[in-house]
Amino acid sequence: MCRTKRHVGIGTATLLALASVFASHPARMERGIEDLVMPGYGGHFLRLEGKWLRTSARGLFQSRDHGASWQRVTRGLDPEAIPTVLAAAPSDPQRVYLGTQRHGLYRSDDGGESWRSVARGLPETSIARLLIHPDEADVVYVVTDLYGLYRTRDGGASWEPANEGLPVPLAYRTFTPLLVMNPLEPSLLYALIGAPVHSHRVDIALYKSRDGGQTWERFAELPDDVRFEHMRISARNPRELELFAQGRIVRILDSESDAHAEASAPIERLPREPEAWTLAAAQDFDAGEIAVLHDDGTLMHVFDLMGKTLQFIPIGTGGFAVSVSSLAFDDDLGQKLNLGNDDSVEITLPFNFPFYGRDRNRVFVNSNGTLSFGGKRLAPNPSTVSDTPMIAPLWTDLDPSAQGGVFVKATAERATITWSGVPKARTSLINTFQVVLERSGRFSLSFQRVDAPTGLTGVFNGNVLAQIFFGRSVDFSDDLPIRDATLPAVYELFDGVFRDQRIARRFYLTHADDFDMLVVFGASSIPHDVTDGPFSYYKPIRNDVNGIGQGMGTFNGGPRAFGSQGRLQGFLNMNKLSRYPADPEQVFFNNVYSPLTLLARETGRRWLAYVDFDDGGVESSALRTHTNEWSFFLDTDASVMGGNNWVDNQDGTFESLEAALRYSPLDHYLMGIRSPRDVPSFFLIVPPSEYTRRLPSSPPEVGIIVPGTPKVITLRQIVQVEGWRAPAYPHAPRLFRQAFILVVPRGETASVSDLEKLDRLRQEWEIFFRIATGGRARLSTRLK
């Protein structure tokens, strides 16, 4: 067979399809990709049989109780060693290797219990990555920042450089080289290296070795203005490489089937379909029974216009054509304005700027990222309507008095206003963006650097009523270009909330469709709530139960919009973990809900509380509130869905003894876990018309005394309106499955404290659900 050797140069916007012939190992080629034992790649967290291991700046730690407690591992390790990366051999999970900053490599043959140094022959530098042969635990590759790759074939007893053909050692650090192994042929390696050419250019190229790192050949040049963050062998095709950079992907095909094929296409923007893999998705992992998802800018609605320019061209006097382009930024900033926190300065333009049908020669520059005409706009918090005509490149709470500044440069044709290095108030989140106003009425918004995750970008004409009826909320990254002659407002509010469908679709990339509900928490480090208003919420997706007051069918796009093939029934957004106490039983919300009972409330919304009842021939909704919780005045045996456990004082008053502790017998029936024969009657307090201290929508409360008369209600009165529940007890399901998910902000990793906190809540939640249902139902949170 003739071996073809080629390498091709590509530009920033080019997708490679490269052909090269190599001989594959017959035994491994006979197995499908799904059956292969994959190489062992290093990371900061390792789950072994019966224990977890993790690296930190304070040392190596292990846990034997799924992260509930951690103990430092010291046996055989230098006390000064700082772990950087660890990996287990796929062929022998008891063989674990640990890389460090200054103490080389350690090896354990007993699953991390004890260690010995195997650093002889390695340079004295930090070990950044590890790669272990899938079939041979003694064959290990280590990656260093400056000195390239080293290989051992005897379990670390000796090391040899694996750099022939690579541009190492490097003159200075660029980025840590990336290294992957083809699972069909472990002797086939790929390395991505950035070699410094001079102070302003790094030569980024992909190298290939057919002999296990003995020799390398330059395989493909890559654009030097793109920083690739991750590389992997495609799960769909073992001959396809996937390189990830800033939310985009380059695929490189190394195929022996067509040595003459060479295709070119643009670098792909990572699509938002369920099958899409991003860098963050490649980093996702399961920490025990918690699925950890890494945001890449798609899982939370945070600012995503950095490196872009929005162009606005007026159409008539009431609309715009809006488009997006690559960044255009004027580095000549001009004169600095004297702006304090929540401040404003009016400046004169050297021309008339037409804006919504009126010429403007004066504009207020507001410190909080806006330009307004005819009046100041000092409010730090953005709104989706404005009674002042306004251009808002980034309306958020900015403080130019703390750092950076706001600058103005004006000519006869254009005025440029720049927020340069301005932090979000009371934070270190730095922001640099620019507005250019042109005499023609055109203007542009350019974003060089934006660290602030939340804010608003948009334009308002000053007519609030018109904005309410005809204003347009858009996604500037997805919806452009747009052209609309009637556009009193066009904006995107980056509110930081979870994008529920995208989170679910990401989850299903790596997990089976085995769950009735997804339960999602945000990492504690997220600086804002992620729920868009309520503390937490349940989003219905599918209902196939009759007789519970909820419509039959699908909601919010149905299961497929969330990546499920049909099983998923609901999505729980439980907000960020820092809003919760560490103790799952500690009351913290509305003076009555603990983390466990709040979970029970949101889970209960799958079936509760939607029913009406027959009140003397009239259909009544008095049992529930407009938010589908039980009325404050309903005797619910202290249901987590609201109401209270009321006792009749026999003097025209009622006292609440308990609140938000369990599911009631009525709840059990609606959940399908109790026979209708076992549901006792209950009562609704009807307070005097003049009583206003508490309302039906008031949250549960212990110790309150209210006046009123009791209205006795039976299950049959509900059935007269809603019909009998179907499927009925005992044929309805009594085992429910939930998946617990932790979403981590962009550029971060899951903290141990978050994993410990959430796993404790998860474990105690299974127990609490069993108790709250009176032992009639079980809930599993296992991922597999």
> Letter for the amino acid at 233?
I
Tens of pLDDT along 337-353?
A: 999 999 999 999 999 99
For residues 764, 767, 773, 776, the Cα torsion angle rounded to the nearest 10 degrees is 160
6-15, 150-159, 580-589, 689-698: which range is least confident on average?
6-15
pLDDT at residue 233, as a whole number: 86
Distance CA 83, CA 674 (A): 54
pLDDT at residue 21, as a whole number: 26
pLDDT at residue 269, as a whole number: 38
Half-sphere exposure in the Cβ direction for 167 (13 Å, CA) = 19
Classify 370 in phi/psi space as left (phi over 0), alpha (psi -120 to 50) or beta.
beta
Q: Which residues of 294-309 are buried (b: 16+ CB within 10 A; e: fewer)?
A: bbbbbbbbbbbbbebb
Proportion of the chain above pLDDT 90, given as a percent: 71
Distance CA 74, CA 669 (A): 55
Whether residue 390 has pLDDT greater than 50: yes
Mode of pairing for the β-strands spanning 517-522 and 570-576: parallel
pLDDT at residue 279, as a whole number: 54
Tens of pLDDT along 258-288?
A: 333 233 333 333 333 333 445 556 678 999 9
CA angle, 274 as apex, 273 and 277 as ends, to 5°?
Answer: 90
> Letter for the amino acid at 291?
A
Measured in degrees and rounded to the nearest 5, phi and psi for residue 754 equal: -65, -45
Tens of pLDDT along 508-518?
A: 999 999 999 99
| Extended beta strands in 567-629, E state | 570-576, 613-615, 618-620
Q: What distance lies between CA 81 and its chain's CA centroid?
A: 33
> With contact defined as beta carbons under 8 Å apart, do 473 and 532 qualify?
no
> Does the pTM of the predicted model rise above 0.75?
no
Tens of pLDDT along 39-54?
A: 888 877 888 888 889 8
Tens of pLDDT along 598-607?
A: 999 999 999 9
Q: Across the beta sheet with 489-494, what order do the strands follow?
A: 344-355, 358-366, 370-372, 390-395, 455-460, 489-494, 472-473
Which residue from 452, 435, 433, 454 is spatially nearest to 444, judged by alpha carbons? 435
Calculate the average pLDDT of the chain: 88
Segment 555-583 mean pLDDT: 95
32 vs 218, higher pLDDT: 218
Tens of pLDDT along 655-691?
A: 999 999 999 999 999 999 999 999 999 999 999 999 9
